[in-house]
Amino acid sequence: MKIKAIINFHYYDETQARVAFKSLHPDNLGFLESYQDHDSLICKLEGESLKTILSTVDDLIFSEMLVEKVLEL
C-alpha cells in the first residue's frame, strides 16, 4: 500500500521560504519531493509504510524548527 502526505510550511515572505527550501533540500534528497511556491515550502512524501512516513515527517519537522530558529536571528 502506498501512503502519501503533503506538508505545507508558510513563511512571512518568499525570502524566508527560499532559505528554508535551500536549508532542507540536502537532507531531503531521495526521501521526499520539495519545492518553493511563493512564501511556502511544499513537501510531498510517499512510502510503503506508515512508520517510515511518520519517521520522515518527524525528521522534517525537527529540521524545519531549526530553520525557523535561524530565521529569527
The pLDDT tens digits for 40-52 are 999 999 989 999 8
Instruction: Report the domain count for the chain.
Output: 1
Q: Which element (helix H / strand E) includes 34?
A: strand 32-37
Q: The CATH number of the domain where 59 resides is what? A: 3.30.310.50
List the domain range (segments joined by +) for residue 55: 3-72
Closest by Cα among 14, 1, 9, 3 to 60? 9
Q: Model-level pTM?
A: 0.85
Beta bridge mates, 46: 4
The reported pLDDT for the residue numbered 26 is: 73
Are 23 and 46 a contacting pair, CB within 8 Å? no
Side chain identity at residue 60, one-letter code? L
> Long-range contact list for 27-31, CB < 8 A, 24+ apart?
27/59, 27/63, 28/60, 31/56
User: Taking all residues of the chain, what is their mean pLDDT, rounded to a whole number?
Assistant: 90
Whether 38 has a pLDDT exceeding 90, the answer reads yes
